[in-house]
Copies of this chain bind each other. A is one copy, B any other.
Amino acid sequence: MTAGFMLQSNLFTDAARQFPEGEETANAKYLIRGGFISKASAGVYSILPLGLRVLNNIVQIIREEMNDLGAEELLMPALVEKKYWEKSKRWDTDIIYKTGKSSNAHDFEYGLGWTHEEVIAAIAVNYIQSYKDLPSAVYQFQNKFRAEVRAQGGLLRGREFLMKDLYSFHVDSEDLNKFYAKVAKAYSKAFKRLGLKAMMVEASGGAFTKEYTHEFQVIHPVGEDIVYHCDKCSFAQNKEIYKPEHHADCSGKISESRAIEVGNIFRLGTRFSDSFGLTYLNSKGERLPVVMGSYGIGPTRVMGTLVEVYHDDKGIIWPESVAPFKVHVIDVSRDKKITAGKKVYDALQKAAIPVLYDDRTELRAGEKFATSDLLGIPYRVVVSEKTGSKVELKKRTQNSLKIVTQAELIRLVSSK
C-alpha cells in the first residue's frame, strides 16, 4: 500500500452530500461522491488525490507480477503516426481517435494509441536480431484512447483509461504458449491480490487471431459480457463462441452470468511481426518471423470493478491491498484542540501505517462517520472522551466495535 498520511482538513477534495446526477453504476456514484474521481466528459475522468492512491496501489500490484515474469517496463507515446496503422491495416477502425493540427481532416497525422502492437513491433526490430535475444517481454502503464459510442458505467468503459499492456516475443508458437500459460498464472495471482475473483474464460480473438484467446472475467450483474461457466470444471466461454458440445464430457451444470472483463491475453502469432519486418536468425542462420503475444489489464477498470463488488448502501469497502489508507482516525472529542486524535495519528504514522486523520472540528460525529463509511478505509478508529485514553476500533466490513489501547491498536492494524 502507498505510504503516507493526511489530515482530512488539508485534503483537496471533500465528500459530496449527494450522489452525482445521471450516474447509474455504483462505481460512478460512490467514486464521484467520495471525491476519488471527477467526470470530465462521457467516459473521461480525472483521478483525484484519494483515487490516485487507490490506482497507484493497483498499479504496483500488477507491476510486481509483471516484473516477476521477467518483463521490463517502458513507456510508449499516445501519438501514433498514421504510417504505423497503415502498415498493420488498422488506420480505418471505428475505435480510433484521429488527430491533426489543421481543421482539414485529410491532414490527420496520428491515431491516438488504443493498443500498441504497432509501436512495440517497430521498436523491437532494433533489438531483436537473433534467437539469443528471445524470449523477451516488455510492458507499460499508459493511457489508452478508444472512441466508444456508449461510454457509460463510470470507470468500467472509458474513452480514455489506464491500461497495463504487456508484449512478448518468441522463437515459435510453442515458446509463446509456455509464456502465455505463465502470464495466465501471473494474472490470476494479480487479481487475487487485488481482491477480485477473476475467472479465465475462452473467447474469440477478434481482429487479432483465429485462435481462442482468454479473458479474465469477474461475475457481476453490471458486466457487459455474458459468460457460460461450469460449476464443476474450469470450462468457461464467452457467449460469442459458446457451444455446449465443447463441454460434452463433464457432468457439471453450466450457468449463464453477466461479467466484467478485467484482463485478456492474446496469441498474436506473426500478425504484427509480418507487418513490421520483425524477424530473427535461428541457430542455423535462417531468418524467421518473431512470434508475439499481447496481454492487457485495465487498472482503472479494476478500480471500478472493485467498487461494484465491494460496497454496501453506505459506501465503498476497499480491500486492504488497494485501500487509499489503512486506518481512518476520527476525532469526535469536544476538546476543540483535538490533541487526543493527533496523538493516535502520530503513533500510527510512526508505525508507518498509512492513515487519514479526520481532524475537522466543525462537523458533527454523525457526518464524520457517514463520510468514513463512504470512503471505505478498512479500519476506523474513533477518539473521544467516552473511551478515555483508549480508542474505539471498527473494521469497515464488520459492525462490532472493540475498545483497545493505543498499543493494541498498532498491533492489530499492523498484523497481516
Residues from 49 to 67 in A contacting B, C-beta threshold 8 Å: 49, 51-52, 55
Segment 279-327 of A: residues with Cβ below 8 Å from B: none
**CB of A77 closer than 8 Å to a CB of B:** yes
Which residue of B is nearest A9, CB measured? B132
User: Would you give the shortest CB distance from A18 to chain B, in whole angstroms?
Assistant: 12
A112 within 8 Å of B (CB atoms): yes
Chain B, Cβ-Cβ closest to A35: B127
Contact between A76 and B46, CB atoms less than 8 A apart: yes
CA distance A73 to B80 in the complex (A): 28
Minimum distance in angstroms from A153 CB to a CB of chain B: 17
A105 within 8 A of B: yes
Contact pick for A11, options B41, B72, B84, B103, CB 8 Å: B72
A207 partner residues in chain B, CB cutoff 8 A: none
B98-A99 in contact (CB<8A): yes
**Given contacts A103-B98, A136-B12, is CB(A123)–CB(B46) below 8 Å?**
yes
Binding site for B on A (CB under 8 A): 10-14, 16, 35, 38, 40-41, 44-49, 51-52, 55, 70, 72-81, 83-84, 94, 96-105, 108, 110, 112, 119, 122-123, 126-127, 136, 138, 143, 145, 147, 159-160
Can you list 11 residue pairs at the A/B interface with Cβ under 8 Å? Answer: A12-B72, A12-B127, A12-B136, A14-B127, A41-B83, A44-B81, A49-B72, A78-B145, A94-B101, A97-B110, A105-B105
